[in-house]
Amino acid sequence: MWSEDKITEYIKSELKKQRYDHSLRVKDTAISLAKKYGVDEKKASIAALVHDCAKYLDYEILIKHSKEWGYKIDSVSKANPSLLHGVAAANIAKKKMGIEDEDILNAIIYHTTGRKNMSKLEKIIYLADYIEPGRKFPTIELLREKTYNNLDEGLLFSFDNSIKFIIDRGQLIHKDTINARNDLIVKLGRNII
């Protein structure tokens, strides 16, 4: 597996400065959350660094990487190919960087949509991407507070925010996000009708 220094060099060469800086902030946030929630900090650091390494790839290359991974490209991802950048990044991480850890790879894949039964590392990367210090939106401070008080409460709040934002823009919601939110509501015991 590549060293963190080599991964950092790679993402610096592949990303625009703004996205590279974002990745470094996500790394710092992920390490902070990993410390708080007892998750391997090195795994959090690597997943955070790599999560957006495919962000600027052309549609055809995203499709190629996704197919190589064996990912079934659904209609929502076809309509919004940027959703595939996590799968493409995981493929690059495994094939080019030698990253074999399934938890790291899954955290990279699902950092945009989430999914049902997320591991702690997956939750941390999803949230670190969402709450890193460069992010600015009306409920960001409340989301940061919730995340540092209770990982699942932060995650649920982030899903709710994302879904509202997507609906307000008239866009498609990925089924993984819906399934992740529903799964979390059941686990938190909030499915009482």
The answer to whether the CB of 121 falls within 8 A of the CB of 44 is yes
Q: What is the pLDDT of residue 25?
A: 98
d(CA 165, CA 159): 10
* Homologous superfamily, domain 4-187: Hypothetical protein af1432 (1.10.3210.10)
Domain regions of the chain by residue span: 4-187
Residues of the chain with pLDDT under 70: 192-193
Which tokens in the block code for residue 171? 């866009």
Q: Where are the alpha helices (DSSP H) in 16-101?
A: 17-37, 41-50, 59-69, 75-79, 85-95
Q: What is the pLDDT of residues 37-61, one digit of tens each?
A: 999 999 999 999 999 999 999 999 9
Q: What is the pLDDT of residue 52?
A: 98
Compute CA distances 70 → 82, 111, 118, 120, 133, whole Å: 17, 18, 20, 24, 34
For residue 133, give every residue at least 6 positions away whose Cβ sits within 8 Å of its Cβ, in sequence order, or none.
Answer: 25, 29
Q: Tokens 């709040």 appear where?
A: 157
Q: What is the pLDDT of residue 190?
A: 84
d(CA 93, CA 153): 30
Which tokens in the block code for residue 116? 């049902």
Q: What is the pLDDT of residues 140-151, one digit of tens each?
A: 999 999 999 999
Which tokens in the block code for residue 33? 């959350």
How many C-beta atoms surround the C-beta of residue 100 within 10 A? Answer: 10
Q: What is the pLDDT of residue 193?
A: 61
User: Of 23, 29, 18, 25, nearest to 8 (Cα)?
Assistant: 23
Q: What is the pLDDT of residue 192?
A: 63
Helix (H, G, I), strand (E, B) or coil at 137: coil
DSSP 70: T
